């Protein structure tokens, strides 16, 4: 028993002496979830945009609800209006017609809210899309951004952890940095390896996802029919750029860490953060212009647009370029840490 206690105390002292391990294990989780819930807390501020056609009295009634923004439908078609807002209401009491975009969660929520407010009247609800198609779209638009965000973090993590932190652990980094090759070239080669391995791992993840869905098609029949070749290619390009960013972040963590275990511990909170940002993107009502420049948020919004078939080349290019540019400071920081590594020439 004495030996067990002695070994236990030894390991605890070694852990407490390593300030980085203490920060990663104890301090980071303490700060991470307040940050995540702050992001998620914005959901309560959501408002719904309701278009009315020739019904001023109802407009005054609905405007009293702080969650509802009332706008004039004028002569625009329902399909056009519901790309900009959540709901279209036509007719006059007691006969009202509510048009819901059943591809969008916010529109379904707005429809339920209006029906509750108008209890006692005759309300007819009609939907823009067939039920099976709408259900498949909702399934993909909610599931894919979250899954892709998690895959983008996890796919390159093992490679990133071992290519710097693991080299230090195995005592092979000194020999590599002791060669005549410049450290910038070495770090570039390591990053390309992280990116390529991340893409290969992501491909395996996506293959597993398709296999799981093919074995359980009753989850959302017809979902795969929405993923045409063009949409699949667009998703691949977006995914490729996001893994470029996560690979750069994770290589920085690995360069900072003293072992592969410590590197992977650093990377772990990134999964939670990406999940929170992806969820936050889905809960945005009127999307602020600034949100479209936040990595992961803009990626999640773009995935939804790809599935809907509404994304344009300019939006795709902006997100891809932004992800590539966002990776550069992390790569520069990793190179700075690498240049500070001491090598003893023998």
- Render the burial of 145-184: b for 16+ CB within 10 Å, e for the rest: bbbbbbbbbbbbbbbbbbbbbbbbbeeebeeebeeeeebe
The last residue of a domain, from among 112, 129, 146: 129
5 within some domain? no
In three-state secondary structure terms, 71 is strand
Same domain assignment for residues 211 and 225 = yes
**C-alpha to C-alpha distance for 283 and 285, rounded to whole angstroms:** 6
pLDDT of 139-187, one tens digit each? 777 788 888 888 899 889 888 888 888 888 888 887 888 777 888 888 8
Write the CA distances from 253 to 193, 250, 305, 335, integer angstroms: 16, 5, 32, 12
**Is residue 23 predicted with pLDDT exceeding 50?**
yes
12 within some domain? no
pLDDT value at residue 15 = 65
33 within some domain? no
Considering just the CA atoms, what is the radius of gyration of the chain in Å? 26
Higher pLDDT pick, 218 / 341: 341
**C-alpha to C-alpha distance for 20 and 256, rounded to whole angstroms:** 9
**C-alpha to C-alpha distance for 191 and 237, rounded to whole angstroms:** 18
Same domain assignment for residues 106 and 148 = no
Same domain assignment for residues 124 and 170 = no
Average pLDDT over residues 53-65: 78
Domain count, the chain: 2
**C-alpha to C-alpha distance for 235 and 229, rounded to whole angstroms:** 10
pLDDT value at residue 252 = 92
The last residue of a domain, from among 101, 129, 157: 129
Write the CA distances from 8 to 4, 23, 99, integer angstroms: 6, 20, 66
pLDDT of 220-269, one tens digit each? 555 666 667 788 888 889 989 999 999 999 999 988 888 888 888 888 88
Split at pLDDT 50, 70, 90, the class of 346 is very low
324 within some domain? yes
Same domain assignment for residues 176 and 299 = yes
71 within some domain? yes
Residue 346's CB: how many other CB atoms inside 10 A?
Answer: 5
The last residue of a domain, from among 100, 129, 158: 129
65 within some domain? yes
pLDDT of 270-301, one tens digit each? 888 888 888 878 766 556 667 778 888 889 88
Q: CA torsion sign, 62 to 64 to 67 to 71?
A: positive
Q: Which contacts of 273-279 are long-range, i.e. CB under 8 A and separated by 24 or more positions? A: 273/32, 273/35, 273/36, 274/149, 274/150, 274/152, 274/153, 274/246, 275/146, 275/149, 275/150, 276/35, 276/36, 276/39, 276/40, 277/39, 277/149, 278/145, 278/146, 278/148, 278/149, 279/40, 279/146
DSSP secondary structure code for residue 5 in this structure: H
pLDDT value at residue 345 = 46
Question: Could you list the residue range(s) of the whole structural domain that residue 88 is in?
Answer: 44-129
């Amino acid at each position: 028993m004495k030996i067990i206690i002695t070994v236990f105390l030894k390991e605890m002292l070694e852990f407490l002496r390593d300030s980085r391990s203490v920060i990663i294990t104890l301090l980071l989780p303490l700060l991470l979830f307040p940050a995540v819930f702050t992001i998620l807390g914005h959901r309560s501020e959501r408002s719904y945009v309701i278009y009315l056609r020739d019904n001023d009295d109802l407009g005054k009634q609905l405007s009293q609800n702080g969650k509802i923004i009332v706008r004039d439908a004028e002569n625009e078609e329902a399909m056009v209006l519901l790309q900009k807002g959540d709901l279209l209401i036509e007719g006059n009491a007691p006969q009202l017609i509510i048009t819901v975009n059943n591809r969008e969660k916010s529109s379904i929520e707005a429809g339920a809210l209006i029906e509750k407010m108008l209890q006692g009247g005759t309300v007819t609800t009609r939907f823009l899309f067939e039920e099976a198609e709408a259900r498949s779209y909702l399934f993909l638009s909610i599931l894919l951004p979250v899954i892709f965000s998690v895959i983008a973090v996890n796919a390159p993590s093992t490679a990133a952890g071992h290519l710097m932190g693991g080299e230090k652990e195995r005592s092979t980094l000194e020999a590599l940095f002791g060669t005549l090759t410049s450290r910038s070239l070495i770090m570039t080669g390591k990053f390309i390896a992280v990116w390529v391995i991340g893409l290969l791992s992501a491909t395996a993840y996506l293959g597993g996802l398709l296999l799981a869905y093919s074995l359980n098609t009753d989850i959302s029949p017809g979902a795969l029919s929405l993923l045409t070749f063009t949409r699949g290619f667009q998703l691949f390009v977006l995914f490729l750029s996001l893994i470029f960013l996560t690979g750069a972040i994770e290589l920085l963590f690995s360069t900072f860490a003293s072992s592969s275990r410590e590197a992977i511990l650093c990377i772990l909170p990134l999964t939670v953060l990406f999940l929170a940002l992806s969820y936050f993107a889905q809960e945005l009502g009127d999307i602020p212009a600034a949100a479209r420049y936040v990595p992961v948020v803009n990626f999640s919004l773009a995935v939804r647009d790809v599935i809907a078939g509404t994304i344009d080349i300019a939006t795709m290019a902006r997100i891809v370029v932004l992800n590539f540019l966002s990776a550069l400071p992390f790569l520069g920081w990793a190179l700075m840490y690498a240049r500070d590594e001491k090598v003893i020439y023998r």
